[in-house]
Chains A and B, each alone.
Chain A
Amino acid sequence: DAMVIQNPRYQVTQFGKPVTLSCSQTLNHNVMYWYQQKSSQAPKLLFHYYDKDFNNEADTPDNFQSRRPNTSFCFLDIRSPGLGDAAMYLCATKRDHPETQYFGPGTRLLVL
């Protein structure tokens, strides 16, 4: 089945130690998104790629970076994780049209 895959499902890191989260998709969608979701809150968009074009949200901290080496893969890099970065990180994809986004299962990040 075509799908959005996120690895790992759970990630534990230390305060200040860089961490990378991975997303891959077999849907051949050209748009990919990264969201941060804290407990009992709605997902918050961090950034998205439209093909190779990177679109950062204005309030996304510089500590968060992303890479998209090809259509299928997208990475979220957190350069110096703080305790406040502990959250669920969701990847989503879509085609140009329609607007429907398809989400992966998420990676839960714990910062010690």
Chain B
Amino acid sequence: AQSVTQLDSHVSVSEGTPVLLRCNYSSSYSPSLFWYVQHPNKGLQLLLKYTSAATLVKGINGFEAEFKKSETSFHLTKPSAHMSDAAEYFCVVSKNTDKLIFGTGTRLQVFP
């Protein structure tokens, strides 16, 4: 069965410093993995997705994630945080082609 674990419920960084949001997955086959971002009172926006092509995936707003099969990880990174990055981030695995399984979310705070 597929699942995802987001290792941190809250992450706080200073503006201009790197961001690391951690996600581990469990899947019996090669998974499709996603990162979505949700700003307060907004819908979910797709940041990036991994679908068995390149292991380093580049997304919008300077975010990227690396698929590491040996570590069953799909961590989200950004070299330099911006105030506008403050939001909730969800790591998601596709259960089959029709359904998604969400992690519990990581709230990112960015301090000036």
Q: What is A's interface to B at a CB cutoff of 8 Å?
A: 4, 6, 31, 40-43, 45, 48, 50, 55, 88, 90, 92, 96-106, 108
Q: In whole Å, how far is B32's beta carbon from the nearest beta carbon of chain A?
A: 5
Report yes or no: B51 in contact with A106, Cβ–Cβ below 8 A.
no
Contact with A along B33-49 (1 / 0, CB 8 A): 01010000111111001
Q: Chain A residues with Cβ under 8 A from B100's Cβ? A: 45, 99, 101
A42 to B45 alpha-carbon distance, docked (Å): 14
Give B residues with C-beta under 8 Å from A. Answer: 32, 34, 36, 41-46, 49, 51, 90, 94, 97-100, 102-105
Closest-by-CB residue of B relative to A104 is B43
Supply 9 A–B pairs (Cβ within 8 Å), ascending by A.
Answer: A40-B105, A42-B104, A45-B100, A96-B97, A98-B49, A99-B32, A100-B46, A102-B46, A106-B43
Among B44, B49, B94, B97, max chain A CB count under 10 A is at B44
Closest beta carbon of chain A to B43's beta carbon, Å: 4
Instruction: Please give, as numbers and ranges, the residues of chain A lying within 8 Å of B45 by CB-CB distance.
Output: 103
